Structure 1
């Protein structure tokens, strides 16, 4: 019975991590789209576009790493 409780707690933690990763992906892409649309209208130089691109790429890379960790943990739980 204790193992089931532990597994359920682990699954809940992994689900929470998955939701956070999904929010980072969706939020990053939404931020990128808005910044690409708004940047030229505000007259921002191109270097800000590159900075925004790099920030969003970093967020997406983080989400990829977290997603890979979730996948590995779920695989270990099911064994």
Structure 2
């Protein structure tokens, strides 16, 4: 496996981890602390849930791409 490919795989893995971590922290902060502090209606909680779901779907797609990159590099 080439060094450039190893670096690309590692960079993509860090990116995925960062996306998941930021998504979950933002979701928890918005639904548990910021939303109630601003007295937002309950429908905003659903909006925050959908935004978090979109972020996690993006992460799953990238995990699949990472898996494919690793499969191709082993051949």
Taking structure 1 as the reference length, what is the TM-score of the superposition?
Answer: 0.86
1:26 aligns with 2:24: no
Match of residue 53 from structure 1: 49
More helix by share: 1
1:21-44: CA deviation from partner (whole Å, max 9, x where unpaired): 100100000011111112122200
Give the greater-gyration-radius structure (CA).
1
What pairs up with 1:64-75 in 2 under 5 angstroms?
64-75=60-71
CA distance in 1, matches of 2:37, 2:69: 45
Runs of 4+, deviation exceeding 6 Å: none
Taking structure 2 as the reference length, what is the TM-score of the superposition?
Answer: 0.90
Query: Is there any run of 5+ residues in structure 2 with no aligned partner, and where?
Result: none
Cα RMSD after superposing both structures? 1.1
CA distance in 1, matches of 2:53, 2:46: 10
Query: Is there any run of 5+ residues in structure 1 with no aligned partner, and where?
Result: none
